[in-house]
Amino acid sequence: MTYDLFVGDRLFSSWSMRGWLMLEKFGLPYRSHMIGLYSGTMAEDMKPLAPARLVPALRLPDGTVVGESLAMAETLAELHPETGLWPKDPAARATARWLCAEMVAGFGALRGQCPMQLKQCWQGFAPSTETRADLARIETLWAHARDVSGADSGPLFGHYSLADVFYTPVAARIIGYGLPVAEANREYCLNLLSDASVRQWRAMGLTVNYDPFPYPVDLPSEPWPIAGSSQAKAVNGDMSINDACPYSGKAITAVLELNGQRWGFCSQFCRDKTVADPGAWPKFTEMTRAVNDS
């Protein structure tokens, strides 16, 4: 049973990130397909999924297409009850559904003033009164979730759930725009963004260059706080320490340099996602450690 997941540009599509995390974080098998949000091909790319018209969209193994993130979440939870997408406790589960539904329906000011971007952190951003009201509401909901679950830190309901999935792009907005929240909530945001899956999503997004940048802000910026400044760089040639790509096992066609060593990959995409964040990829880390420890 393998799902087909249709997503948009990773650096900017907050809803696509939610759809991907539903599958990636809970170990559900899938194939990803990119929809051209900024290339002008979105309408054409979405035609096979009609009447779905937005990303993410999910095609089930039987061919059924499911649009809208919350419908995808409920469908996957129904098909895979053993994975724990929703909290097990009934009160926590009902509260998690509430938080996700309010996320889908609300926070228009925050979404409008602070489009998600995962490239950098803006300095000196001034949120509007309406955005501050959205932030206050989010903090109220997070506090309520912790009251229900008893979890003082980490995932809202003690164990990672769809509630954390739905609020990860909110965390990206809070960190990316330096928005004012309580220190404990800022730590929660950083914990969500430090997750290996989120780092991988961002690293894959960084393989694409945008000119012009879709959401420019006339402010100084600083590096992303998690793996924001990679020491790896792409280099020419095909000579490398390893003779096969750590991800696919295929022959080397692209190379990066890190700490004076050259490592090879089967494609420019595999190389560039590793250049963006070498520490996000366990297979690459295991390969380099095995060589350097031998």
Same domain, 115 and 75: no
Overall domain count for the chain: 3
Same domain, 276 and 247: yes
Q: Can you give the residue range of the structural domain that contains 13?
A: 3-83
Identity of the residue numbered 122: W
Query: Residue 229 has what pLDDT?
Result: 80
CATH of residue 69: 3.40.30.10
Q: Which residues contact 90 (CB under 8 A, 6 or more apart)?
A: none
Same domain, 168 and 242: no
Same domain, 76 and 110: no
Same domain, 41 and 115: no
Query: Residue 155 has what pLDDT?
Result: 98
Conformation bin of residue 158: beta by default, left when phi > 0, alpha when psi is -120 to 50: left
Q: Is residue 156 part of a domain?
A: yes
CATH of residue 129: 1.20.1050.10
Q: Is residue 268 part of a domain?
A: yes
Same domain, 64 and 28: yes
Query: Residue 103 has what pLDDT?
Result: 98
Structure tokens belonging to residue 264: 């090879």
Q: Is residue 120 part of a domain?
A: yes
The pLDDT tens digits of the residues spanning 108-134 come to 999 999 999 999 999 999 999 999 999
Q: Is residue 205 part of a domain?
A: no
The answer to whether the beta carbons of residues 145 and 96 sit under 8 Å apart is yes
Q: Is residue 23 part of a domain?
A: yes
In Å, how far from its chain's centre is CA 291? 30
Task: Collect the ranges in the chain with pLDDT lower than 50.
Answer: none
Query: Residue 40 has what pLDDT?
Result: 86
Query: Residue 167 has what pLDDT?
Result: 98
Q: Is residue 210 part of a domain?
A: no
Same domain, 101 and 186: yes
Same domain, 158 and 140: yes
Q: Is residue 102 part of a domain?
A: yes
Same domain, 46 and 140: no
Same domain, 79 and 116: no
Measured CA distances, 289 to 125, 197, 199, 226, 248 (Å): 41, 20, 20, 21, 18
**Which of 31, 63, 83 is the last residue before a domain boundary?**
83
Same domain, 79 and 110: no
**Which of 83, 111, 141 is the last residue before a domain boundary?**
83
Query: Residue 165 has what pLDDT?
Result: 98
Q: Is residue 31 part of a domain?
A: yes
The pLDDT tens digits of the residues spanning 193-239 come to 999 999 999 999 999 999 999 999 999 999 999 986 889 999 999 89
**Which of 83, 98, 124 is the last residue before a domain boundary?**
83
Q: How far apart are CA 208 and CA 37, in angstroms?
A: 13
Q: What is the pTM of this model?
A: 0.97
